[in-house]
Amino acid sequence: MELRHLRYFLAVAEESHFRRAAERLHVSQPTLSLQVQQLEKELGTPLFERTGRRVRLTQAGEVYRGHARRALANLEEAQIALDELEGLLRGRLAVGVVQTVNAYLIPSVVAGFAARHPGVRLRVEELSAEGIEEGLADGRLDLGVSFVEADGGDLEAEPLFEEELVLIVPEGHRWAGRRSVRAADLAGEPLALLPEGFCTRRLAEECFRTAGVRPAVAVEMNSVEALVAVVRSGGPATVLPALAAGGPGVAAIRLERPTPRRSVGLLRRRGCAPLRTRTAFCEAIRAAVGPAGRRSG
């Protein structure tokens, strides 16, 4: 078995299509098919079910995908570690970030990091908290910026700041001048929220349940920026992290009784090899979250 077998297998698994995978790898489709067949022969089991032009993983393929990803990630980590023995800061770094943090904190961090470390190929993905945990577990991600759970399992967590959810209203709203509002006061208030399934929505719903009210959800949108834009345009209020409330045209009001909050931090695989690239990016985030933490808490 050779490394190209793993790379070819993963490309087909991700594309669910041999032609698209071949284009992505810059090889011919017959070459790709032959390499995958060789891998299946060596493993003694089919990894894909061919259904017309598309393919899908067999049960064995699903199991093998996780191991293949971790194997390649470990080899890439090893290469970066060898480079760093020579005092170089280069290679690649894959970071997963939850949407609410990615929208307002990460862009400036990425810009500064890229300017200081041009030899590092940085890939930042906006993912759900669950997607970040999965990516760290199977080696697709080197670092996560997400919500810190009490029991991290196989993940190490470094809390960065406490993030509060606030009520964001248009400047002309009747509550725009208030410093705080009770969660119970939102009974019957039209709201624009992230869809169910988002961690932010679940935290807001928990706050409403504790206050004994049901939110009047008028709008659902899967983008933090879009929700804030709706509020800025005079639409319904929203409940989002305080970081999202910057800019003109909106006012942020603290929610009380209860105040929904959670911890945001850096996540990495427990026992992963130390990498200077990851350390440098973590340092850049720590430097940026000082004022962000004060705004959120």
pLDDT of 142-162, one tens digit each? 999 999 875 657 889 999 999
Q: Domain-by-domain residue ranges, the chain?
A: 3-66, 71-160+263-296, 163-261
Predicted local distance difference test score (pLDDT) of residue 79: 67
Predicted local distance difference test score (pLDDT) of residue 252: 94
Predicted local distance difference test score (pLDDT) of residue 292: 46
Predicted local distance difference test score (pLDDT) of residue 295: 40
d(CA 77, CA 139): 10
Closest CA to 251 of 242, 259, 260: 242
Does the structural domain 163-261 have CATH classification 3.40.190.290?
yes
Please state which of the four CATH numbers 3.40.50.1110, 1.10.10.10, 3.30.420.10, 3.80.30.20 is assigned to the domain occupying 3-66.
Answer: 1.10.10.10
71-160+263-296 folds as D-Maltodextrin-Binding Protein; domain 2 (3.40.190)
Check if the beta carbon of residue 193 is closer than 8 Å to that of residue 268: no
Residue corresponding to tokens 């080696």: 139
Predicted local distance difference test score (pLDDT) of residue 61: 86
Q: What does the radius of gyration of the chain's CA atoms come to, in whole angstroms? A: 23
Predicted local distance difference test score (pLDDT) of residue 296: 41
The 10 Å Cβ neighbour count of residue 212 is 9
The reply to whether 163-261 shares the fold of 71-160+263-296 is yes
| Dihedral sign, Cα of residue 195, residue 200, residue 202, residue 205 | negative
Which stretches in the chain have pLDDT values below 70?
Answer: 1, 52, 77, 79-90, 150-152, 290-297
Check if the beta carbon of residue 7 is closer than 8 Å to that of residue 22: no
What is the DSSP code (8-state) at residue 242?
Answer: G
d(CA 217, CA 193): 7
Predicted local distance difference test score (pLDDT) of residue 140: 85
Predicted local distance difference test score (pLDDT) of residue 63: 87
